[in-house]
A and B are shown apart, each in its own frame.
Chain A
């Protein structure tokens, strides 16, 4: 196994940064959407549900292409972002964050939604008879009880974001040191003869990252569950 060169190392650091930022930014939205889908009956609920799950069933390349159409510098959202805020997403690492967040979103939402549905019925009613407002009920009863589900959703989303390939490479390409993540670096190295050492290194790093994430999640989940007294 050869030493990891600077480009491959940059891919590892970028993948971690993209996955962490994507998970942190999308988590609050995922909680809100999961709450809407689990608890509320409103017009357009089916549409929202379909929209959230679309990246799960569409070919990732298609999702990436749609992102390019919408968020490209000429796209309807992308041009507004550039002109009004000076933000460009296409072919930037921030675009990789958006692609990873959107691809991971359905998985995160599903896990958190299951958490909402598993909150024992009536605990929130009990809290409101004790004088707690809706906001207080959510903060002091619902949120602590869905903690393990939020964690599970975040881990799932993080793992997905770490491994995202299709949408990312379509939306932001694989510019070494700028938008090249672990999967696109492995793919790129496989196209070049004699780079087997670097490929193996990246594969091993991928496996170690995945295992560490799982172990950390398991440990946190045990602590949270213990706090629930189950």
Chain B
């Protein structure tokens, strides 16, 4: 269990954040300047809070100096030691699970290289491996993908998924990119202006229409877990079975039987009262309305139950009124196959 409550004044800005999270991957999500980095610096001990506590697995670390906390930290800029080769960077903090870490992160070919000769993605992988080999009781990652281009991002994200699925070390992952958060995390902490506005299980928050203003209209969208059922080589589509229905998505998304996670942006879901006919969209899920949240703007967030899965749709207030949507009503959710971006699909933890 991770139990954090810290208060720290920084000029005009006040960090006053508290959350609790079970082991697993906890994402801290918020805009830049919302205090995410200050919060994890307090957890690591690099910043001293004016008040509060940092408790990891029942141990109070509030007064413990940085080097005795056993909290691994993967910085956005990797911070590899330029005078040491990759092997000595990796072993700087210890050699815990050395071979397994090197294997998992694909570092074998890099061991004798100098940091200056590595690509951005390779640096990130070495930084992650170095933190893991120090045998931390908690791993902090501060936007490890933010400085990378799209290709390197995809490369490192692939390794991060393996890591998050395999490791027993709890992870706190800071990001302002919802697609990363949705692929990796099990617990979500939302931050705004130095405060935690909401925390809890990721799938609950992302399918909660009341949380849409906190997550942000563009980033809102439920996360579903499905099973790969079929690959069609002829048209390049993959069928994914959900608890009540199936989706057809572009690309090869895994092998038959693989569990995958996908995020469906709320603004890409269309609602229809009748079962649609003669439509180009391939994906139609029959759902029941679980909740309707009317915000201040022109939009309405509708949460939908489809079997045991929850979906989130964002439609205009006018459409909601015209359709006469009420809780409990049966509707059809239409999802365009290409609405689910490749970056929003990943292996399930």
* Interface stretch of the complex, out of B5-13, B114-122, B156-164, B201-209: B114-122
Chain A residues near B131 (CB-CB < 8 A): 129-130
* Interface stretch of the complex, out of A84-92, A119-127, A182-190: A119-127
> In which size bucket is the chain B interface?
20 to 34
Q: Does B61 contact A (CB under 8 A)?
A: no
Q: Please tell me if the beta carbons of B115 and A229 are within 8 angstroms of each other in the complex.
A: yes
Number of A-B residue pairs, CB cutoff 8 Å, is 67
Q: Please tell me if the beta carbons of B66 and A129 are within 8 angstroms of each other in the complex.
A: yes
Q: Does A205 contact B (CB under 8 A)?
A: no
Q: Assuming the A-B contacts A131-B93, A131-B134, are A126 and B82 also in contact, with contact meaning beta carbons closer than 8 angstroms in the complex? A: no
Q: Does A213 contact B (CB under 8 A)?
A: no
Chain A residues near B70 (CB-CB < 8 A): 131
Q: Assuming the A-B contacts A131-B94, A132-B93, A229-B117, are A126 and B83 also in contact, with contact meaning beta carbons closer than 8 angstroms in the complex? A: no
Q: Please tell me if the beta carbons of B83 and A129 are within 8 angstroms of each other in the complex.
A: no
Q: Please tell me if the beta carbons of A129 and B71 are within 8 angstroms of each other in the complex.
A: yes
A228 to chain B, nearest CB (A): 5
Query: How far is it, in angstroms, between the C-alpha of A128 and the C-alpha of B72 when the chains are bound?
Result: 10
Chain B residues near A156 (CB-CB < 8 A): none
- Per DSSP, chain A at the interface is helix
Chain B residues near A131 (CB-CB < 8 A): 67-68, 70, 93-94, 134
Chain B residues near A133 (CB-CB < 8 A): 67
Chain B residues near A134 (CB-CB < 8 A): 67
- 7 A–B contact pairs at CB < 8 A? A120-B79, A122-B77, A125-B66, A130-B72, A130-B131, A131-B67, A144-B83
Q: Please tell me if the beta carbons of B46 and A125 are within 8 angstroms of each other in the complex.
A: yes
Chain B residues near A126 (CB-CB < 8 A): 73, 75, 79, 81
Q: Does A70 contact B (CB under 8 A)?
A: no
Q: Does A230 contact B (CB under 8 A)?
A: yes
Query: How far is it, in angstroms, between the C-alpha of A127 and the C-alpha of B81 when the chains are bound?
Result: 9
Q: Please tell me if the beta carbons of B82 and A128 are within 8 angstroms of each other in the complex.
A: no
Q: Does B36 contact A (CB under 8 A)?
A: no
Residues of A130-147 at the interface with B, using a CB-CB cut-off of 8 Å, are: 130-134, 140-141, 144-145
Q: Does A40 contact B (CB under 8 A)?
A: no
A119 to chain B, nearest CB (A): 10
Q: Assuming the A-B contacts A126-B75, A145-B82, are A229 and B116 also in contact, with contact meaning beta carbons closer than 8 angstroms in the complex? A: yes
Query: How far is it, in angstroms, between the C-alpha of A140 and the C-alpha of B83 when the chains are bound?
Result: 10
